[in-house]
Amino acid sequence: MNVGLDIKELNEKIQRESEFVDLIQMEINKVIIGQKHLIDSLLIAVLSNGHILLEGVPGLAKTLAITTLANTIQAKFSRIQFTPDLLPADLIGTMIYSQKTENFTVKKGPIFSNFILADEINRSPAKVQSALLEAMQERQVTIGEQSYKLDEPFMVLATQNPIEQEGTYPLPEAQLDRFMLKVIISYPTKEEEQRIIRINVAKEFPKANAIVSPQHIIKAREFVKEVYVDEKIERYILDIVFATRFPQDYKLEKFKEMIAYGASPRASIFLTLAAKAHAFIKRRGYVIPEDVRAICHDVLRHRIGLTYEAEAENITTEDIINEILNTIEVP
Amino acid sequence: MMTKLTHIIVTIVYCLAFLHSSSQVLNVQAELNRNKCLIGDHLTLSLTLSKPLHSTISFPVLTDTITKSIEIIQKQNIDTITKENQQITLKQNFIITSFDTGLITIPPLPFVLKNDSITDTIYTNPITFSVYALPVDTTKQTIFDIKPPIGEPFSWKEFLPYILWSLLAILIIATAIYVYLRIKKNKPIIPIPEKPKDPPYVVALKQLHELKEKKLWQKQLYKQYYSELTDILRIYLEEQYQIPAMESLSSELIEHLKNRSFDEELVRNMQSLLTTADFVKFAKATPLPDENDWHWKNAVAFVEQTKPVMEEKNSESKGGEHD
């Protein structure tokens, strides 16, 4: 069989250029036990220039995962604990008056890093969240009258605390939409947790080595863009997104009253980009339906609004996405 | 023997200009045939008027009662009793009754005299009569309840129109609901019986042969060829084995086949077909001519070897009968 000449070349190129992904995964796996989905999601977001919203109980190696990823690609990492008294200046930086020079000098905030862990983002008031989300969108911040470009690669990994609701400021839907993926982290398996116990008791923490440079990641993003997406796959993605908006057109009348609003066009864009990145980390030069399926939940779960009827009947966005995937014909 | 209770109350003689002699008199009387009766019993009240022949005097106008206690049951016409010497005597009888016990009085009744210049009223005498109730010995007589209404015998004829109208209304409502549901489901109002469907394997084999005759891959339409080839197999698996094949990924479909314990080689060939189809559909791959034909043969073999055994036997026996 001859794979189409362009695709064959592309496939070979992608296989060649995506070698580093396996190495990064190996290095991260030395430090992180389990959490394969989290690591894949981090790589997808890094390679497709997106941001991740994480949800999971404390102690599931969120910070360790992103620190390790930062180490493997020699990137700068900042962790910001969002608190109710945090100010935008604490995040992006401010102008400080120097008596010695009699001038204002710029003090850059922790956002000037490659990877930001915005811990418990829903603990801060809206103005701080807006400052962060604006930086995520614009890739630059303005201090005083001067705008500063943020370092590339730039990725925000925000966590939301799902347990405590008191004293929190949940992110509005429009701002949630800016996160490419919302990843739900689950507990490790028994075997994985047994290995975690042994490592922690022995205090022999392995360290991840640097594999690639940030420039390598920026270059890899260009290869990800080149991954071939057939028209059939595009139509499959559109069917999935449109099914969240008009479920009655896809034999899903039962969800018509359950969905307050469907996924935005950003969902279609991010589904395509994330599917390409998934194909890249699987070292393929073209997207197949498996890639779309693999990232579908993470892309869509925070973009579907549920009605009170859905909440009353304990219908979750996961149920809706599962039903959509089980109903729409695979190309 | 009837006691006459005649009481002349008023005898008034008017010396009127129009009377020609002083011997002409005006006289009115009210009489009852009895002065006591049982409750509800009938009495006859007679009103008599004696007057000059050409004078105009009208009788009292009585309708259905005289007083609250005295009811008029029958009113007779005015009758002439005597007519002589320019004098006339007229009489009118009333059958009256009373449902009140005790002493009842008929009040003075007015006769109206009318002349060219004079109008006057002459009254009869008041009459009193007694009304008695039936004596009841309450020490011996038991008290009975009020009798209930008398029930009519049941008749189907009486209820038949209601039953028929109700049945008609139910029929109309049921028809309306049926028509509404059929229209809502986009189905014909009168269902047309469908032809019995061919078994899925028959349909699949027929479609596979049709696909071969289309010569799609020979025309370089590889994508269409493999899309149709995989769709035929997916629909066959869905209808024959209820595997959600159309909504499954290639990898999921292979897992379903492995779980069904199909022959390993069949599953392996199917996996190869699906992988090639994915390459063609999503990576613009161009399989070799032999490969296209080999996958088609594998698809036919898959259907042939996985079709239900019972159906095959049935079809064979049917074929035998025809022979």
Decide which of B107 and A66 is more confident.
Answer: B107
Kindly report the average pLDDT of chain B as a whole number.
Answer: 83
User: Quick check: B19 pLDDT over 50?
Assistant: no
| Same domain, residue pair A170 and A59 | yes
Q: What is the pLDDT of residues A315-330, one digit of tens each?
A: 888 899 998 988 888 8
Distance from the Cα of A308 to chain B's closest Cα (Å) equals 28
Domain annotation covers residue B323: no
Question: For an interface test with A, which of B282, B292, B294 has the most A Cβ atoms less than 10 Å from its Cβ?
Answer: B282
How many angstroms separate the CA of residue B249 from the nearest CA in chain A?
6
Q: Do A148 and A42 belong together in one domain?
A: yes
What pLDDT score does B24 carry?
62
Ramachandran sector of residue A2 (left: φ over 0; alpha: ψ -120 to 50; beta: rest) = beta
Q: B15 or B236: which carries more pLDDT confidence? A: B236
Helix, strand, or coil (residue B150) = coil
Q: A90 and A169, same structural domain?
A: yes
Kind and range of the H or E run holding B52: strand B43-52
CB nearest to A4's CB, from B247, B285, B291: B285
Domain presence at residue B5: no
Question: CA-to-CA distance for B216 and A297, rounded, in angstroms?
Answer: 37
Look at the alpha carbons of B80, B82, B87, B90 in this order and tell me if their dihedral is positive or negative. Answer: negative
Same domain, A88 and A205: yes
Identify the weakest region by mean pLDDT among A70-79, B33-42, B182-191, B312-321: B312-321
Counted across chains A and B, CB pairs separated by less than 8 A come out at 63
Range of the domain at B241: 200-314
A1 occurs within a structural domain? no
Domain boundary among B132, B161, B185: B132
Concatenated DSSP letters for B56-105?
Answer: EEEPP---SBSSSSEEEEEEPPPEEEEEETTEEEEEEEEEEEE-S-EEEE
Q: Determine how many CB atoms are found less than 10 A away from the CB of residue B103.
A: 10
Is the residue at A223 inside a domain?
no
Please give the residue that has the higher pLDDT: either B3 or B153.
Answer: B153
Average pLDDT over residues B122-127: 92
Closest Cα in chain A to B290 = A1
How many angstroms from the chain centroid is the CA of residue A130?
18
How many whole angstroms separate alpha carbon B131 and alpha carbon B97?
9
CATH code for the domain of A198: 3.40.50.300
* Percent of chain B clearing pLDDT 70 (strictly above): 88
| Total number of domains constituting chain A | 2
**Residue B98 located in a structural domain:** yes
Q: Does B251 touch chain A (CB under 8 A)?
A: yes
Lowest mean pLDDT among A146-150, A250-254, B313-317: B313-317
Identify the three-state secondary structure at position A140: strand
Q: Looking at the predicted structure, is the pLDDT value of residue B21 above 70?
A: no
Q: pLDDT tens digits for A132-179?
A: 887 888 888 888 788 888 888 888 888 887 655 666 777 788 778 889
Q: How far is CA B190 from CA A201, B167, B183, B194, in A?
A: 77, 22, 11, 12
- Over residues A72-100, the mean pLDDT reads 86
Paired residues of A306 in beta bridges: A259
- Do residue A269 and residue A302 come from a single domain? yes
Q: Which of residues 221-250 of A touch B (CB under 8 A)?
A: 228, 230, 232-233
Query: In B, which residues are within 8 Å of A230 by CB distance?
Result: 281-284
Span A120-131, pLDDT tens digits: 888 888 888 888
* pLDDT tier, B305 (very low <50, low <70, confident <90, very high otherwise): confident
C-alpha closest to that of A143 among A93, A180, A178, A189: A93
Question: Which domain-ending residue is among B93, B115, B132?
Answer: B132
Which residues of chain A have a CB within 8 Å of the CB of B249?
289-290, 293, 330
In this model, does residue B318 exceed pLDDT 80?
A: no
Q: Please give the residue range of the domain that contains residue A55.
A: 20-216
Region of poorest pLDDT, from A106-110, A264-268, B46-50: A106-110
CB contact under 8 A, A7 and B247: no
Q: Is there a single domain that holds both residue A141 and residue A25? A: yes
The answer, yes or no, to whether residue A66 has pLDDT greater than 70, is yes
Task: Assess whether A204 and A250 both reside in one domain.
Answer: no
Contact A6 B284 (CB under 8 A): yes
Boundary of a domain, candidates A216, A247, A273: A216
Is the domain of A71 the same as that of A194?
Answer: yes
Out of A1, A228, A233, whose CB is closest to B288? A1
Q: What's the total number of domains in chain B?
A: 2
Q: Residue B44 has what pLDDT? A: 95
In chain B, which among 282-311 make CB contacts under 8 A with chain A?
Answer: 282-288, 291
Residue B14 has pLDDT above 50, yes or no: no
Put simply, the answer to whether A1 touches B285 (Cβ < 8 Å) is: yes
Candidate from A166-170, A257-261, B76-80, B279-283 with smallest mean pLDDT: A166-170
Of B132, B155, B177, the one marking the end of a domain is: B132
Q: Assign B42 a pLDDT band (cuts: 50, 70, 90).
A: very high
Distance from CA of B245 to the nearest CA of A (A): 9
Taking residues A36-54, report their average pLDDT. 89
B22 has a pLDDT exceeding 80: no
* Residue A187 and residue A80 share a domain: yes
> Cα–Cα distance between A293 and A329 in angstroms, integer?
12
Q: What is the pLDDT of residue A191?
A: 87
Q: Is residue A55 part of a domain?
A: yes
B281 located within any domain: yes
Evaluated on CA atoms B141, B142, B143, B144, the torsion sign reads negative
Across the interface, which of A2, A286, A290 has its CB nearest the CB of B251?
A290
**B113 found inside a domain:** yes
Question: Nearest-CA distance from A287 to chain B in Å?
Answer: 7
Is the CB of residue B257 less than 8 Å from the CB of residue B273? no
Residue A216's contacts (CB-CB under 8 Å, 6 or more residues apart) are A20, A73
Please count the other Cβ atoms lying within 10 Å of the Cβ belonging to residue A76. Answer: 14
Chain A, residues 260-299, CB within 8 A of chain B, namely 285-290, 293
Q: Give backbone dihedrals phi and psi of B66, rounded to 5 degrees, phi first.
A: -100, -50
Q: Round to whole Å and give the CA distance between A21 and A19.
A: 5
Structure tokens at A38: 């989290």
- Chain B residues within an 8 Å CB radius of A234: none
Q: The domain spanning residue A308 has which CATH number?
A: 1.10.8.80
pLDDT in the model for residue B7: 44
Confidence tier at B320 by pLDDT (50, 70, 90)? very low
Pick A174 or A294 by higher pLDDT: A294
Q: Name which of A229-233, B266-270, B312-316 the model is least confident about.
A: B312-316
8 Å CB contact of B279 and A329: no
Q: What is the CATH number of the domain that holds B50?
A: 2.60.40.740
Query: Which of A3-17, B64-78, B181-195, B244-258 ranks highest by mean pLDDT?
Result: B64-78
Within-domain flag for B168: no
Closest CA–CA distance from residue A117 to any residue of chain B (Å): 35
In a domain, A13, yes or no: no
**Would the CB atoms of B249 and A326 count as touching at under 8 Å?**
no
| More confident: B172 or A36 | B172
Give the pLDDT mean for A13-17.
80
Residue at B101 is within a domain:
yes
Question: Does B96 reside within a domain?
Answer: yes
A249 and A197 co-located in one domain: no
Cβ pair B282:A230 closer than 8 A:
yes
A309 touches chain B (CB under 8 A): no
Best residue of B184, B224, B233, B249 to probe chain A, by most A CBs closer than 10 Å: B249
* Residue A59 within a domain: yes
This model of the complex carries an ipTM of 0.73
Q: Which residue has the higher pLDDT, A4 or A182?
A: A182
Q: What's the CA gap between A202 and B296, in Å, rounded?
A: 59
The per-residue pLDDT of chain A, averaged, comes to: 85
Predicted confidence band of residue B75 (pLDDT cuts 50, 70, 90): very high
Statement to judge: residues A141 and A45 lie in one domain? yes
Q: Answer yes or no: do A208 and A247 share one domain.
A: no
Regarding predicted confidence, which is higher, B30 or B264? B30
